[in-house]
Amino acid sequence: MAGNGSGGARKPISVLFVCLGNICRSPMAEGVLRSMTKSDTRVATIDSAGTGAYHEGSPPDPRTMSVLEENGENSYDHQARKIRTSDFKDFDYILAMDADNLYELSRVQKRIVKNSGIHAALAKVMMFGDFGGCEGEEVIDPYYGARDGFTIAYEQMTRFSKGFIEQVLQGVDSATPAHAPT
Rg of the chain in Å (alpha carbons): 16
The answer to whether 153 and 129 have CB atoms below 8 angstroms apart is: no
Packed helices 25-36 and 62-70: angle between N→C axes, nearest 10 degrees: 20
Distance separating alpha carbons of residues 66 and 142, to the nearest angstrom: 14
Q: How far apart are the first and last CA of the chain?
A: 16
Asked if 141 is an active-site residue, the reply is yes
Q: One of 47, 87, 98, 141 is an active-site residue; which one?
A: 141
Asked if 61 is an active-site residue, the reply is no
Q: One of 10, 24, 25, 130 is an active-site residue; which one?
A: 25
Asked if 24 is an active-site residue, the reply is no
Q: One of 19, 34, 42, 61 is an active-site residue; which one?
A: 19
CA angle 100, 31, 29 (to 5 degrees): 20
Active-site residue numbers?
19, 25, 141
